[in-house]
């Protein structure tokens, strides 16, 4: 998987399938993963975690970009892994996959370009908010 795959973009110069069907980009939010979090901690706690995730997202993106811009692979890897882990917990599938690609490049000794992060984050905000709003409230069983 390339970073373009994770960002939902076809690779540059790639031949298009004859059928005219393009591969689907990864889901922005995988509701089943968010539901797993709800099942473990309840809707209220999961919604709080997701809200905190969104509130911290800009800072986490800045940390990744800063570390990559200063060519500090250790700091960049820490920032990418933090973003990847929290993204996976809320079901931010596209962001998780993109961070996996960044991690792979960093582990291979390259400093990747992460220009797609702001677009992915912009797509994520309304999608995650909509999923959270559609979830039923906690029930006292």
pLDDT digits (tens, 9 = 90+) for 102-132: 999 999 999 999 999 999 999 999 999 888 8
Q: What gap in Å lies between CA 79 and CA 101, rounded to an integer?
A: 13
CA distances from 49 to 58, 104, 112 (A): 15, 27, 29
**Which helix (H) or strand (E) is 140 found in, with range?**
none
pLDDT confidence tier of residue 68, bands split at 50, 70 and 90: very high
pLDDT of 88-99, one tens digit each? 999 999 999 999
Q: What gap in Å lies between CA 127 and CA 79, rounded to an integer?
A: 23
pLDDT at position 63 is 94
Return phi, psi of residue 29, to 5°. -130, 130
pTM for the full model? 0.78
Domains of the chain: 29-134 (1.20.120)
Is 4 within 8 Å of 12 (Cβ atoms)? Answer: yes
pLDDT confidence tier of residue 65, bands split at 50, 70 and 90: very high
Answer yes or no: is pLDDT of 82 > 70.
yes
pLDDT at position 34 is 87
């Amino acid at each position: 998987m390339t970073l373009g795959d994770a960002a939902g973009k076809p690779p540059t110069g790639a031949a298009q399938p004859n059928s005219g069907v393009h591969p689907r980009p990864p889901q922005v939010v995988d509701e089943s993963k968010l539901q797993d979090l709800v099942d473990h901690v309840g809707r209220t706690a999961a919604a709080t975690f997701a809200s905190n995730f969104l509130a911290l997202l800009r800072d986490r993106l800045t940390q990744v970009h800063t570390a990559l811009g200063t060519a500090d692979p250790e700091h960049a890897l820490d920032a990418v892994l933090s973003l990847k882990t929290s993204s996976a917990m809320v079901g931010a599938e596209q962001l998780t996959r993109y961070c996996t690609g960044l991690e792979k490049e960093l582990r291979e000794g390259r400093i990747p370009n992460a220009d797609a992060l702001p677009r992915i984050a912009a797509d994520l905000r309304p999608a995650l908010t909509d999923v959270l709003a559609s979830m039923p409230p906690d029930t006292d069983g």
